[in-house]
Structure 1
Amino acid sequence: MPHITLVLPHLLPLPEFAPDLARALQTPALAALLSRTSAYDRRGAAAPADGAQALPHEAWLARALGLSPEGRPAFAASAMRGFGLDPQDGTWYIVNPAHIEIARSHSMMADPRQLQLDQPDSRALYEAARPLCEEIGHPLLYGDAQTWFLRADDWDGIDSATPDTVAGMDLSDFVPRGRHALPLRRLQNEVQMLWHAHPVNAAREGRRLPAVNSFWLWGAATAVSGGPPPALPVIAVDAPGWVRGLATRSLERLDGVEDLLAGDGIVVAGSLAEAALAADWGSWVQGVQQLEHALFAPLHAALLGGRIQTLRLVLSSRDALAECTTTAMAQRKFWRRPTLERLT
């Protein structure tokens, strides 16, 4: 019987909304999984505004996969391999095309999911930016529409946060630092000017889509710091490109859980991220209800039916992480009333 870890980014709502949102949910299977447990732990983490470089579930995933040298997520090399790219012995960064908004008092990066960037537009912008990178000795490789990779051996040491950590926040708190931050900002400025008048952005404006006017660089890793392939298979469901790069399998949505029961593994289900980062709690409630039907109820039934040995849930918000483990025996603790109190 398999041991399954289910990573659920943003299933913990913000504390000020949590009680009302928990009352709005009709998720009996999730309530049983969270309440009838053999182990439970919840802890705070550094909030993005306090200088955290990764959200709690991202830091957890980096540790679980052995990709956190010096405490920083180092996903680039492993994600490259997932796209069939060879990091060789260089230092690589993940590059995400981005939309930067200039507000009255600060600048802000939008959630990359809101770009709705397709392959043709992404390829065109990539081909425009690639010569600028190569001119300064930094090869740029294409992974997918949202995920590129830049080699910059001489930039080793740039300290940059993950895109989801930065999304919607004041960018002045997350300006990349380190000895080589200046040439990075210079490259960003050159790419911004090039893309400003690019036909892709003119066409996007006509479709009322945000301009792709910058990029975000993060996740530095070498072939060594990127680590070997994970011991446990990773299944990505509705997850960002870099998570899909780390995964042995990637699914846009779940049509059933039979594939998840094939053996031990980590399942990263990212469908709540966009609503939570936008504080769109109505869509968040709908998303949790969909997970109840597609994921929580089938896994609960499989657990009761003896098809799963242990099920561990890893839940996160921007500044907290909760882990709970349950088994078929724990689910027989009928005296524990199933509730969603552990979401609050």
Structure 2
Amino acid sequence: MADMSMRHVECWLPHLQRFEPSHPLRALLGRADRMGEGAKGYLGGLAAYFDCGHGLPAAALTRDHLAGDAAQAAAWLSADPAWVQPDLSGARLLACGQLPLSMDEARSLAEPLKPIFAEADMSLEVSAPDRWHLRLPSSDTLPDFAAPEQALGEDLYEHLPHGLHARRWRALFNDAQVVLHQHPVNAERRLRGLPPINSVWFWGGGALPSNVTATLEGVIGEDLLLLALARRAGIAMQHRSAPSIATVEAGWLVDLQDQSADDVARQWLPSLQALCSRKQVMLAFASGERWLHRPWHRLRLWRRNAP
């Protein structure tokens, strides 16, 4: 974890490989100092900024952020709406959450799933259109579930749970797919050229942590789990905007890891450049690479772009 006394702004960016050699952000990297490797991945990055004691129970944290009742259940598990595409070798997880979906559609899709989970002594809650949660009676029998970032684009059956208690969850996963496959909402979505909601993805299980600590003073971002952690840790939060990024102070995190490289260049780079001209900024990529840019580094005109 980073030192609470850090005197730089932390800017969390997408994987470095997504930035072409000609991307304008690389000019900042070329003038900055390369640092040691940092955390990798979405959950790994969040775990580097926040400590929940044991793991990172994403479902309980996001449920509490959205509904404020996570402490009323022994444990929670995300069962987020997903899009699965069959192929010759099996099926791939193409999207999980972050799908264009209204609350009415979400409730209609979830309604026939509720009896399936009720038979297993669970309650399916539609907390937001793209955030569904299972209220669990106990956390003792939860297997390891792969986070969406681990499974996206890959053969989903390679990422389904294994082990002693996995069979039950695989059966629930398959039952949910059967119910959603012919749901009328998906027929309507196909007519509108939208991807179907033909599966759910289980991940992020656990109980609401009693205490969350942060290595940060505040966060700028829109990611639900990041905001849930920040609120639980009692630190400041701001919505992401060009002015908030350009004027952020040391000790804060600017979250851009959910943006595309094009969006970074088009929408956020001028604010980042303004920030780098007045503050020390750690440019931390989701793939682990890090560069520290100090204000006087703008004078290193002889340096080329970073590799």
Q: Normalising by the residue count of structure 1, what TM-score does the alignment of the two structures yield?
A: 0.73
Which consecutive residues of structure 2, in runs of 5 or more, have no partner in the other structure?
1-5, 232-236
Q: Which residue of 2 aligns with 1:257?
A: 243
Look up the equivalent residue of 2:95 and give its one-letter code.
Answer: D
Alpha-carbon distance change, 220 to 257 in structure 1, aligned in 2, over 3 angstroms = same
- Aligned partner of 2:234 in structure 1 is none
Secondary structure at 2:115's aligned position in 1? helix
Instruction: Please point out which of 54, 64, 68 is paired with 1:81.
Output: 64
CA RMSD of aligned residues (A): 3.0
Is the Cα–Cα contact under 8 Å of residues 139 and 206 in structure 2 kept in the other structure? no
User: Residue type matched to 1:3 in 2?
Assistant: H
- Is the Cα–Cα contact under 8 Å of residues 85 and 92 in structure 2 kept in the other structure? yes
Which of 9, 13, 16 in structure 2 is aligned with 1:8? 13
Shift of 1:245: 4.2
How far did residue 115 of structure 1 move? 3.8
Q: Deviations over 1:123-144 (max 9, x none)?
A: 2222332333233221222222
C-alpha contact (below 8 Å) 1:92/1:151 kept by paired residues:
yes
Shift of residue 218, structure 1, vs aligned partner = 0.6
Aligned to 1:295, which of 263, 268, 287?
268
State the one-letter code of the partner of 1:138.
M
Query: 2 CA distance for matches of 1:120 and 1:250?
Result: 29
- State yes or no: 1:339 paired with 2:300: no
Kept after mapping to 1: 8 A contact 2:114/2:124: yes
SS of the aligned residue for 1:169 comes to: coil
Report deviation, 1:334.
4.3
TM-aligned CA deviation for residue 160 of structure 1: 1.4
State the Cα deviation string for residues 229-271 of structure 1 (Å, max 9, x = none). 646333324x4x54454456575xx542336634432222244
The alpha carbon displacement at 1:59 in A equals 1.0
Residue correspondences, number: 293
Aligned letter for 1:222? A
Mapped contact 1:79–1:242 kept (Cα < 8 A): yes
- The alignment-based identity, stated in percent, is 25
> When the two structures are superposed, what TM-score results if normalisation uses the length of structure 2?
0.81
The residue number in structure 2 matching 1:325 is: 292
Q: State whether residues 106 and 170 of structure 1, in contact with CA within 8 Å, keep that contact through their aligned partners in structure 2.
A: yes
**Counterpart secondary structure, 2:204:** strand
SS in 2 for 1:179: coil
1:146 to 117, 121, 130: 130
Residue type at the aligned position of 2:92: M
Any conservation in 2 of the 1:234–1:246 contact (CA below 8 Å)? no
Unaligned 5+ runs, structure 1: 46-54, 273-286
- 1:295 alignment partner, SS class: helix
Which residue is 2:110 aligned to?
126
- In the alignment, structure 1 residue 161 sits paired with structure 2 residue 146: yes
> For residue 121 of structure 2, what is the aligned residue in structure 1?
137
Q: Which amino acid aligns with 1:266?
A: L
Residue in 2 that maps onto 1:215: 200
Deviation at 1:76, TM superposition (A): 2.2
2:243 maps to amino acid = V
Is 1:176 matched with 2:161?
yes
Query: Does the aligned pair in 2 maintain the 1:235–1:247 contact within 8 Å?
Result: no
Cα 1:242/1:202, change in 2 over 3 Å: farther
SS at 2:193 equivalent? coil
Deviation at 1:289, TM superposition (A): 4.1
| 8 Å contact from structure 2 (residues 11, 255) kept in 1 | yes
Task: Name the aligned partner's letter for residue 208 of structure 1.
Answer: G
- After the TM superposition, which residues 200-279 of structure 1 pair with which residues of structure 2 at under 5 Å, given as runs? 200-224=185-209, 227-228=211-212, 230=214, 232=216, 233-237=218-222, 239=223, 241-243=224-226, 245-246=228-229, 251=239, 255-258=241-244, 261-263=247-249, 264-272=251-259
